[in-house]
Structure 1
Amino acid sequence: MLSQVSNLSFKSFFFFQVFLCYTSLMRKDFFTQSSKKKIGQAIHAYYREFGRDLPWRRDPSFYPVWISEIMAQQTRMEVVVSYHQNFMEALPTIQDLADVQEEVLLKLWEGLGYYNRARNLKKAAQEIVYIRKEVPKSYEELLSLPGVGPYTAAAIASIVYGQAYVALDGNLSRIFSRLLAYDGDIGKAQAKEDLTSFGQEIMGPDPSAFNQGLMDIGSKICLPKDRALCPSCPLKAYCLAYQEGSVAKYPVKAPKKERKLVERTIFILVKNGALALKKRPDQGLLRGQWELPGVDSYLDLEDAKALLLERDLPFSSIKKGPSSKHLFSHIEWRMESYLVQVRDLPFAREDDVLQYFSQEDLDQTIALPSAFKVFVQEWRQENERI
């Protein structure tokens, strides 16, 4: 009897999943060729009238568009605009990017996070300049560059070369899911295939205007959850989720995994006004970057003093510093700190991994991850008080 119930439950679940898939596909087919064409026309019209004035749209050639698309990953557009301008002024050509020193590159990237994006830009520039000897001009060539995935390749191919590729990012996935009232998990391969296929069907003759128009609609109108400004949307007449009153339900996503929590104690070590930094390992989180020294545990004042003396760092004063937290994609740092005035020693140890930098060094040449921003600010304020 139990076996029969179990089989029945499995069959019910199976048929329910088939029903969901079938329903999504039927809703995709709900749109006629005429309505698909009108959706594409509405997107193009919106872009022509309300498209954002962005620097790389004024010069939609490969280099500025490529840099903008890499910067825009995990970054708000208003931040990208200022960084893009500084980057292009410092490195105006792909040759400049290929030859730039890593410290200079990371300083230009400082505050954007995900520093592997910058390293991959340089690798790709070196490949373009010294191996291929020409910029990539097709989706396949773009996709083979370091740091370029399907979305970025599609965005560049469509914007720069007018090639008919759907740049399916979070904005487009959200818009398409709502238009279709699509019940599939957008993180799954099948959903990406379905939504991309729908995008191809409504694209129209101008892939560049199509993708960039949707990017703008997604960033200004078709906002996540219950923040969507549906009355202002040029696509509301075609949106099944809007008609059903279920916009906030879409897109459907699997719950995110909880971040691993790491408790840390950071030492703001100051010697003659200079700040102590060390390099992180060449592998793992924030690989090869400068950081403030610390340990992966909370230390009370007495334990902090003992650790400093154990590591041959005699000090003239130590006091509690600020607390902070920083979110990475899979890890959360929760940090306490101590501000320490280190006594100047008459000798330097050969095994000392710490280096001391002035405010000028940090302003002009040394790039620090934003995780340490609060502690660097405390050091600057301490220098002003002294």
Structure 2
Amino acid sequence: MSSSPIPALIPNIVLMGHVNAGKSTLLNALIGQEVAITSPIAGTTTDTVHKRMEIIGVGAVNLLDTAGLGDTTSLGVQRLQKTLQSINQAHLLLYVLDASCWYLHRPLKQSALPADATRRIMVFTHIDQLTVDQRVALQQNFPDALLMDYQDPQSIDALLRRIAHRLQREEKLLLDGIALPHRHIVHVIPIDSEAPKGRLIMPQMQLLREALDRHLRSTVVQVEELQTLLDHDPTIDLIITDSQAFAQVSAINQQRYPLTSYSILQANQKGDLAFFLQGVQALATLPPQSNILMMESCTHNVNHEDIGRVKIPKLLQKQFPHITFHFDFVMGAHMPDNLQQYDAIIHCGSCMLPAKTMHHRMDQARRQQVPMLNYGLFLAYAMGILEEATAVYRSAPLI
């Protein structure tokens, strides 16, 4: 099976560093356009600037220029919080440092830099202010760093190549760990009121693209077309469906072929499936008055069929009629600091988040001893098919 790197979503490349380190100038140099305001005045970038570009060998990426660290203005604390939120969503960090005072940055090698070395690139700017001997000393002290000369196109090319190399070490894929002897998967994609007009949702597109890159055969059907397909094609390795159609698809399939959902594939790809399954088990011990945190990674309007705000709360109440539930709904990048106020966290499939962010959220839940699971696992549990829906992961502790 091919192990070619396939980005799970458009990667976020976050530029971070102290005020006046040259982050905005670096963003403009990478883009080749004046998209960020640059100035010698400290704190020019007051909010995160987003820009998308294409990088050869990677494809589309999101560049995020953040407010500088060490901002002592009255809004500095708020800007720092925005910067930290961006860092938590980063696939790759460009840590930008001023080469003219590089000797001040020696402690950063062990302390302030993000722990995962594969997720960061140190970039020194303003090297035109250094003598030849100072450049040599800088490179000796930081051998893995890039020295950026904006007047030299090769300098920008070197950084883009380094970025491409790092991003090609992307998180594991949706189908990793699943045996596919016939190299044929079936995508069951319901078209309901929540389906976006004229396009597929992110996990459906991701899986189709991954199947193409792996040279798998994909058959795409709606629920009402599945029976005919199963009756006439014995070469199916896996059926993947939207979690909301689990019950219908399971009834049609009758356990002839392995079945799972996009959300459960994402639980294994970006999270810790065993930890999430422990979260499912913990539902049986919820107290009579339970506070539930519902988390979604993207922001959208809500209708009567919304899975997070309508369907799952109703199913949870039906599953545990003796419990009085209170739900808090959080969308986007923010996660509450105090999780101990909640008895469980039910998270979306996280198609818009990098694995790094999901692991950060899981670590917070672990430290505060709050059970956590995702939409797909809960829906499989509520429909009584959790073991069937997770059977493709034989190493996971099935319930």
Q: TM-score, normalised by structure 1?
A: 0.28
| Larger proportion of strand | 2
| Larger proportion of helix | 1
